[in-house]
Amino acid sequence: MAKKTAMKKNASKKAAKTSGKKSPVRKGAVAKTIKKTTKRTVAPARKSATARPPKGPAWQWSAVETAAAIRAGAISAVETVEAHLERMHAVNPRLNAVVVDLGEDALRAGHAADRRRAKGGELGLLHGVPITIKENVDYEGRPNFNGVPANKDLVAPSDSPVVRNLKKAGAIVIGLTNTPEFSFRGFTDNPLHGLTLNPWDPNITCGGSSGGARSAVAAGIGTIAHGNDIGGSLRWPAHCNGVATIKPTQGRIPAFNASATAERPMLAHLMSAQGPLARHVGDVRLALEVMSQRDPRDPWWVPAPLTGPKPKGPIKVALAKIPEDMAVDPAVSAALRQAADHLERSGYRVSEVEVPDINGVWQTWCDIITNETVVMQEAGMLKVTSEDFHKAWGGMKTKANALDLKAWMQATAARNGHIRAWQLFFEEYPVVLAPTTVKPTPGPRDDTVSAERVQEIFWGEIRFISAINVLGLPGAVVPVAVHDGRPIGVQLIAGRYREDLALDAAAAIEKRAGVLTHRLWETMA
């Protein structure tokens, strides 16, 4: 990790102690409010006599609150960055969530942001807001390690689209977060940077592959964390760390790594998505808008609107019936019932129904991703990865069917039928409420125990997460409860390009369940 940056502690402490009323955030009005504000000519970058920042230290504020406070002159971008760097240096040594400290660059960016505001320049939606980036997308001038030491020469010639969009919106990157080798495991550990811990409990996993991102944002390092998801890598760690996220529809957020030595195969691209993680659903919604801006380097990007027509009458929610072979822990059942109750009390109509062939959908995902990887990537990956990676990957393959060319074409054709069935299902039930996992969060390295344990996790526990990737559907995760000191989240799934419906339902749950990371901070030293 790079050398820690010397920070102006007095200014940071002053900002942390300043208190005031929280800025009210109306549902569905976040981006509109910020956009209107950014069009104004702003005053010089000194604190306004009337502007009052939110309560608590600056690192505890939401991204929406932080952007508004900087814009109003209640705090400078530099002070905000300093507060987050101080938090990072306080808690990251025991978590190992941020593996590249970009503090010096972040402070320079903070000064530039304050100069821009002082000159009256137009400000982006995330002007001066500290964030983190997962170390598996291109960050200009740095190696794209993706958890693999052998990738040291894959130096990014330019920022990936998602990084470029975040920077264009004024976000300030304070660090890069950890990911497993080739981002292939659901547990975040690698020979380059080591194991990332869960801030709630070091005896449970922080998830993967975006485990570093989730651990960081839950602990208060950055307001928004970037991640990506091909089999649950946004939603699974969000559940493990008690934060919110959205896996967008395929094509919503552009993706490309110029450092890559070859193009990604088709189905891997169709099942993968970039996305945000944050402590607040409102921040997830705002980050989604920023990340979704066009980039011509991604031929699959779709210029779809971020909001669609509201369903007529009360929105019907399908509480997904759990397959009989999945043994559900009582705490998970209670969390699902609690989430359903929150939705009912918010005006939704929830019914427990069977969703279309969740078992067949998951098997199609497993067969497609495994066979594509075996043909296109496996030999090269196994040459440069650890024994732990070999164990985990070997376990992932045990549930997949080996496909010849004809079977492969049949599997990809079956994918179309699954998507159609779900789209028709959404005509009656626009939102599906489903578990993230049906079991308590496992240990930090459970996927290295045995092939049988890996199969048990992916098939027996998180089936409702990985299955959604092959459908290309949006899925949000929002925390609902804490059981035995560990967070439990639920998943909200909606139709193609209807992230708004999934996030609306997640926000309704969050309004009643609260933001769980506030409880976490009370227990952290």
Which of 239, 278, 283 is CA-nearest to residue 482?
239
CB atoms within 10 A of CB 29: 12
Query: Could you give the CA distance from residue 467 to residue 232 in angstroms, rounded to a whole number?
Result: 9
484 contacts 234 by C-beta, under 8 angstroms = no
213 contacts 225 by C-beta, under 8 angstroms = yes
* Helical residues (DSSP H) of 30-102, grouped into ranges: 30-38, 63-72, 77-95
Q: What is the 3-state secondary structure (H, E, C) of 119-131?
A: CCCCCCCCCCCEE
Residue among 183, 209, 210, 466 flagged as catalytic? 209
Query: Could you give the CA distance from residue 42 to residue 121 in angstroms, rounded to a whole number?
Result: 8
> What does DSSP say about strands 273-278 and 224-229: parallel, antiparallel, or unpaired?
antiparallel
Residue among 76, 160, 233, 466 flagged as catalytic? 233
Query: Could you give the CA distance from residue 436 to residue 329 in angstroms, rounded to a whole number?
Result: 12
292 is catalytic: no
65 contacts 22 by C-beta, under 8 angstroms = yes
Which of 155, 206, 145 is CA-nearest to residue 176?
145
Query: Could you give the CA distance from residue 193 to residue 179 in angstroms, rounded to a whole number?
Result: 9
The sign of the dihedral angle between the CA atoms of 146, 150, 152, 158 is negative
Grouping H, G, I as helix, E, B as strand and the rest as coil, residue 218 is helix
Query: Could you give the CA distance from residue 208 to residue 490 in angstroms, rounded to a whole number?
Result: 17
H or E stretch at 390 = helix 387-397
CB atoms within 10 A of CB 480: 28
Which of 201, 169, 271, 282 is CA-nearest to residue 230?
271
180 contacts 188 by C-beta, under 8 angstroms = yes
Query: Could you give the CA distance from residue 508 to residue 431 in angstroms, rounded to a whole number?
Result: 13
Q: Which whole-number Å values give the CA distances from 484 to 150, 331, 481, 488, in the listed order?
A: 40, 10, 10, 10
Which of 197, 231, 228, 204 is CA-nearest to residue 135?
228
502 contacts 476 by C-beta, under 8 angstroms = yes
The sign of the dihedral angle between the CA atoms of 22, 177, 105, 13 is positive
> What does DSSP say about strands 475-483 and 486-494: parallel, antiparallel, or unpaired?
antiparallel
Residue among 23, 62, 134, 272 flagged as catalytic? 134
55 is catalytic: no
8 is catalytic: no
Grouping H, G, I as helix, E, B as strand and the rest as coil, residue 260 is coil
DSSP 474: -
Catalytic residue numbers?
Answer: 134, 209, 233
